[in-house]
Chains A and B, each alone.
Chain A
Amino acid sequence: MSVDALVPSAIDGLMLGFVYGLAAMGLTLIFGVMRVINLSHGPVIALGMFVVYVLFTGAGVNPYLGLIAAAGLGILFGVAIYFVAVDRIINAPELTTLLATYSVNLMIVGVATSVFTTTPRAVDISLGSVGGSGVTILGTHAVAVAIAIAGAALLYAILFRTRIGKSIRAVANNRAAAELMGIDSRRVLALSFGIGTSLAMTSGALLSTLFSFTPLSGATYEVKSFVIVVLGGLGNPTGALVGGIVLGLLEGVSTVFIPVSWVPVLEYVIFIAILLVRPTGLLGARA
């Protein structure tokens, strides 16, 4: 145990927490609007990584431009997943949609593993570093935080400053009433799935600039997203962002006091403790 490591570990964890939060916002948005537990979330994060990778290595596209492409493709891909796997069973019990999205998970992982194999890939980008006296902040991490905050702000702008956002909130609140008001709920649900997928792919794109990855890498971040969503409150995007930051911070700080390999254990303990003690999460469900 070294308390000297506390500040840099906390900063590193906090910075990663924003990216975790962005990914979890995608998961929680989908659950909040349509009560679908999206088990294709992890592979979609990995797809975001590979969009950046393919554009970077194949066409020399700057990873941050690739990230915009990943976000755009995310919306289209999410809408496609919705109509292929979710639309026809949207009113079925939650287990049905869970299985449907799990099948999408398996399909994405299968295809991506065949195409890209499980060989680790990396996007070689360096933006230098700043700091000193024990704290070094990498440029890529700082930019990832800025983009994650921008992504979260954009989601809020869409949800609270646009007509479509109002429709999404209306459908989330009461789908039948929204339909009575003339809102095409099917279209809104598809778009919500698209936005949720886009957020996941954007976070994947950001992670690709930080660490190496394989088509299976999304699984780690999917589990973190679930912990975060429960921590912040199911269906609550603000809670997801806050939950992400809290989890990142906990991950960072805990490594100073416990072996790093015990951190996932700590995450699951938090997950179960929140479910037992405060199942609505820190900020309450579906705000």
Chain B
Amino acid sequence: MRGITVALALIGLLAAACGGTTTPGAGTSGQATVKKDLIIGFTASQTGAQNVASNKQTEGIKLWVDDVTKAGGIKLKDGTILMPQIKSYDDQSATDRVQALYTKLINDDKVDFLLSPYSSGLVKAAAVVSEQNGKVMITAGGADDATMEQGFRNIYQVYTPASKYLTGAIDLMLKLDPTIKKVAIVNEKDSFSTSVVAAAKPYAESKGLQVVVNQGYDTGTVDFGPFINQISAAAPDAIIGGGHLPDGTTLAKQLYEKKVSARFVALLVAPPEPTFADIGEAAQFIVGPSQWETQTKYSAEAAKTAGVPFYGPTGADFTTAYKAKFSAPPSYHSAGGYAAGLTLQKALEDAGSTDPEKVKTALDKDDFMTFYGRIKFSTDPKTHGKQIAHEMVYVQWLKGSDGKLATQIVWPAEAKSADPQLRK
């Protein structure tokens, strides 16, 4: 008995020395319960061009932290309880700030694990710093393929890669109207959108489509007049492209104002965001790829069918809790943030440790389903950490019977909540 007391005292001293707190008593398996803070660092674009989507991602992360805290922390097999704490800074949507702040998070703040900022360009900057410092980072807001094809060993991607963003939209478009022949591609010239188009253009051509306009625009473009004039002159049946929320929203608005008559328009990132509705009628019929929607139904049953475990809350529980906390509906960026937290949580539980090598081993082995979809990472040395199991859905802004615009899932057919429609 005396020996046990001494051992408990030693564990307590050790935990205190590590900055944790010791709760007297025993864990479920009879081991001592040691509470430790788990510092999770990331930057968020509280300001700048990416702030809307980034704030949604941050809210998702915060909800995950809340849920874990309410559940009493992340319980490891050795009795350790990890209490997640957020350490975050405003990156102002700027790459140089991301580099500086991730260095600060690692070296000064001594965070245990990293989550990513939002948007592929910023994720790429953060990934390089994380990799150089051997810090495990789960990326939520980055879909760029190129970042995940550099043989990184510490970066794990939750998003479906960019190369799959618009290929499904092309399938949807041709299913909806097989007579569509001419397509215009106008995209932001950042790494993410370029990755998307690099895959979408040859895919469109392989389907017999003729690309009549293929132009990139600089990040921050506000005047799409020159592009729209070219599109109008080429009279395409469909327009695909865009980039992020500010430019995608502006492009959709100006297409509407300039009365461009393409029958199908699919844009990146912007359409699934609830604030896309701010442009009113211009939003109608616009299609957008989404990592997740509130109508998406990934469940324990679906996981069972797929032969993988289901982990975390249901989609309905996530949506309800999110609305209660933030008084707004979640977007796929919110779900991505939450899913990144869940992924880290599961890896910690599977590893039974915060040791980065053990956590990485657990992440490499992971194959599970959450409300956000299936998660599995590539273990190929060239594409290590790249997401290989998660699937996209496609939404379209349609008017309901009440005359109000809302997003509906229109693709894939087996997941649709409404029939897709051509622009009128």
Inter-subunit contact B259/A129 (CB<8 Å): yes
- The reply to whether the CB of A2 lies closer than 8 angstroms to some CB of chain B is yes
User: A74-82, A233-241, A255-263, A278-286: which one contacts chain B?
Assistant: A255-263
Quick check: A118 and B92 within 8 Å, CB to CB? yes
- Decide: A117 and B246 in contact? CB cutoff 8 A: no
A136 and B259 in contact (CB under 8 A), knowing A5-B232, A212-B250? yes
Q: Note all chain A residues with C-beta closer than 8 A to B230.
A: 2, 5, 9, 255-256
Give chain B nearest CB distance to A253 CB in angstroms: 10
Closest Cβ neighbor of B232 among chain A residues:
A134
B24 interface contact, C-beta 8 A: no
Candidates B215, B217, B233, B250; contact of A4 at CB < 8 Å: B233
Beta-carbon contacts under 8 Å, A204-235 to B: 210-214, 217
Interface centre among B215, B218, B230 (most CB of A within 10 A): B230
* Residue among A138, A259, A260 with max Cβ neighbours from chain B (10 Å): A260
- A129 to B258, Cβ gap below 8 A? yes
Interface centre among A120, A129, A217, A256 (most CB of B within 10 A): A120
- Contact between A211 and B93, CB atoms less than 8 A apart: no
Which residues of chain B have C-beta atoms less than 8 A from A213's C-beta?
222
Q: Which of A8, A117, A129, A212 contacts B47 (CB 8 A)?
A: A117
With a CB–CB cut-off of 8 A, which chain B residues contact A120? 49, 222, 246
Cα–Cα, bound, A5→B189 (Å):
22
Residues in B neighbouring A119, C-beta threshold 8 A: 47-49, 51
> Is B403 an interface position by the 8 A CB rule?
no
Closest to B245 in A: A120
Instruction: Indicate if the CB atoms of B226 and A255 lie closer than 8 Å.
Output: yes
CB contact between A136 and one of B51, B218, B223, B257 (< 8 Å): that residue: B257
For the complex, is A252 an interface residue (Cβ under 8 Å from B)? yes
**Whose C-beta in chain A lies nearest to the C-beta of B189?**
A261
Q: Does A126 contact B (CB under 8 A)?
A: yes
Interface residues of B in 241-286 (CB under 8 A from A): 246, 250, 257-259, 278
- Answer whether A134 and B233 are a contact pair too, CB < 8 Å, given A126-B257, A129-B257, A212-B222: yes
Number of interface residues of B (CB under 8 A): 28
Contact A255 B229 (CB under 8 A): yes
Contacts of A16 in B (CB 8 A): 223, 225
Smallest Cβ distance from A77 to chain B, in angstroms?
24
User: Quick one: which of A1-51 are within 8 Å of B by CB?
Assistant: 2-5, 8-9, 12, 16
Bound CA–CA A117/B257 (angstroms): 28
Asked whether B48 lies within 8 Å of A117 as measured between CB atoms, the reply is yes
Residues 188-245 (chain B) with a chain A CB within 8 angstroms: 189, 215-218, 222-223, 225-227, 229-230, 232-234
Q: Which residues of A contact B222 (CB under 8 A)?
A: 120, 211-213, 217
Determine the chain B residues whose CB is within 8 A of the CB of A263 once the complex forms.
226
Can you name the residue of chain B whose Cβ is closest to the Cβ of A264? B218
A8 to B258: give the CA distance in the assembly, Å.
11
A134→B228 CA distance, assembly (Å): 10
Contact indicator A260/B93 (Cβ below 8 Å): no
Complex CA distance for A244 and B133, rounded to whole angstroms? 51
Cβ B233 vs Cβ A12 within 8 A: no
Q: Which residues of A contact B233 (CB under 8 A)?
A: 2-5, 8, 134
Q: In whole angstroms, how far apart are the Cα atoms of A261 and B250 in the complex?
A: 18
Bound form: Cα–Cα A126–B223 in Å: 15
Verify B215–A259 contact, CB threshold 8 A: yes
Chain A proximity mask over B39-66: 1 for CB below 8 Å, otherwise 0: 0000000111101000000000000000
| A2 CB contacts on chain B under 8 angstroms | 230, 233-234
CB within 8 Å of A: which B1-47 residues? 46-47
Interface flags, B64-97, vs A, CB<8A=1, else 0: 0000000000000000000000000000110000
- Across-interface contacts of B246 in A (CB, < 8 A): 120, 212
- Bound Cα distance A263, B216 (Å): 13
| A217 CA / B246 CA spacing, docked (Å) | 14
Contact A260 B217, CB 8 Å, known A118-B92, A129-B258: yes
Q: What's the minimum C-beta distance from B421 to chain A, rounded to whole angstroms?
A: 24
Shortest 7 CB-CB distances between A and B: which pairs? Answer: A117-B47, A4-B233, A255-B226, A211-B222, A5-B233, A2-B233, A5-B229
Enumerate chain A interface residues (CB-CB to B < 8 A): 2-5, 8-9, 12, 16, 117-120, 124, 126, 129, 134, 136, 138, 210-214, 217, 251-252, 255-256, 259-261, 263
What are 13 inter-chain pairs, A to B, with CB distance below 8 A?
Answer: A4-B234, A118-B49, A118-B93, A120-B246, A124-B278, A126-B257, A129-B257, A134-B233, A138-B257, A138-B258, A212-B246, A212-B250, A214-B49
- Residues on B lying within 8 angstroms of A by beta carbon are 46-49, 51, 92-93, 189, 215-218, 222-223, 225-227, 229-230, 232-234, 246, 250, 257-259, 278
What 20 new A-B contacts, CB under 8 Å, besides A118-B49, A119-B47, A261-B217? A2-B230, A2-B233, A4-B232, A4-B234, A5-B229, A118-B48, A118-B93, A119-B48, A119-B51, A126-B257, A129-B257, A129-B259, A136-B259, A211-B222, A212-B222, A212-B250, A213-B222, A256-B230, A260-B226, A261-B216
